[in-house]
Amino acid sequence: MSDQDAIRRAVAASLRKQLGGSRPVIDETVVNAAPEGSTLPIPADALVTPLAQTAALMRRVKLVPEAYEKGGSPEGGVIAIGADHGGYSLKKMLKADLQTRYTVIDCGTNGTESVDYPDFALAVAEQVASGRAWRGIMIDGAGIGSCMVANKVPGVRAALCYDYATAINSREHNNANYLTLGAGLIGTALAKQIVDTWLKTDFGGGRHAKRVDKITAVEKKYGK
């Protein structure tokens, strides 16, 4: 072992001691062990050293919080949002709030002039299906039609949510990646609560994973 390696190990050990051994330390050794250009999941409570960050930049290794890998709520994650004329005002409010924490792709519409909701529901769904967006949100008058449109797109699991319970259930049980809201059915405060809850709720996995796999199997059977 070189003197430099010994120093690095001593620093890492000191950090662990200071943190009471409760937090993992990600140093450049961990990053260098990952394939160049790969993604390295990082525990939410991990301490990433400056040398690790430098190594990641040089080797194009993307340091991604484990919550993001598991479908959780990544700060800065990409969300696609859209609305028809009936949902435009609510979309405008939600977009402003989401932009403080996430990267937002606005798929329109951009005013209250009458438009057709399928056009915008599809635009959001395509962002999700392609992987360009982590989650999608679409608002129309009732949320029903947009949900139908989105669920025609392979890779999208859309859920119409109208309260706290449905927001949690659609994520925990169904691993929904697309949320539809009915602007004519809920107020702004409730809409914000639904969105925040839906984005922060993890998929439960376990017995639910088998059932979601069966949804995917149906999609593959009839999506040819």
- Binning pLDDT at 50, 70 and 90, where does residue 19 land? very low
Identify the residue with better confidence: 17 or 100: 100
Q: Same domain, yes or no, for 128 and 200?
A: yes
Chosen domain end from 47, 69, 91: 69
Q: Same domain, yes or no, for 163 and 88?
A: yes
Phi, psi of 26 (to 5 degrees): -100, 110
In the numeric block, which tokens belong to residue 41? 């999941």
Q: Which of 8, 173, 192, 208 is catalytic?
A: 173
| pLDDT score recorded for residue 57 | 76
Collapsed DSSP state (helix, strand, coil) of residue 200: helix
Q: Same domain, yes or no, for 32 and 86?
A: no
Long-range contacts, stretch 62-68, CB < 8 angstroms, 24+ apart: 62/38, 63/26, 63/31, 64/39, 64/40, 65/41, 66/41, 66/42, 67/202, 68/134
| pLDDT score recorded for residue 20 | 45
Chosen domain end from 42, 69, 96: 69
Active site residue 173: yes
Please say if the pLDDT value at position 22 is more than 70. Answer: no
Domain span including residue 63: 3-69
Q: Same domain, yes or no, for 127 and 208?
A: yes
Q: Same domain, yes or no, for 103 and 56?
A: no
In the numeric block, which tokens belong to residue 201? 């709720």
CATH number at residue 84: 3.40.1400.10
Of 71-75, 106-110, 146-150, which range is least confident?
Answer: 71-75
Q: In what order do the strands lie in the sheet with 178-182?
A: 103-106, 78-83, 135-140, 178-182, 158-160
Highest-confidence range of 40-44, 46-50, 198-202, by mean pLDDT? Answer: 198-202
Please say if the pLDDT value at position 55 is more than 90. Answer: no
Number of H helices, E strands in the chain: 10, 9
Q: Same domain, yes or no, for 23 and 65?
A: yes
Report CA torsion sign: 104, 106, 111, 114: negative
Please say if the pLDDT value at position 178 is more than 50. Answer: yes
Q: Same domain, yes or no, for 103 and 177?
A: yes
| Average pLDDT, integer, range 207-211 | 92
Please say if the pLDDT value at position 16 is more than 70. Answer: no
Q: Same domain, yes or no, for 59 and 84?
A: no
Q: Same domain, yes or no, for 133 and 212?
A: yes
Distance CA 224, CA 221 (A): 7
Distance CA 109, CA 105 (A): 12
- Binning pLDDT at 50, 70 and 90, where does residue 60 land? confident
Domain count, the chain: 2
101, 106, 107, 116, 198 from 128: Cα distances, Å: 18, 13, 12, 20, 16
Phi, psi of 180 (to 5 degrees): -115, 145
Q: Same domain, yes or no, for 144 and 88?
A: yes
Distance CA 109, CA 129 (A): 20
Q: What is the pTM of this model?
A: 0.69
Q: Same domain, yes or no, for 8 and 30?
A: yes
| Average pLDDT, integer, range 141-167 | 96
Q: What is the mean pLDDT of the chain?
A: 85
Which single residue is written with the structure tokens 């700060």? 75
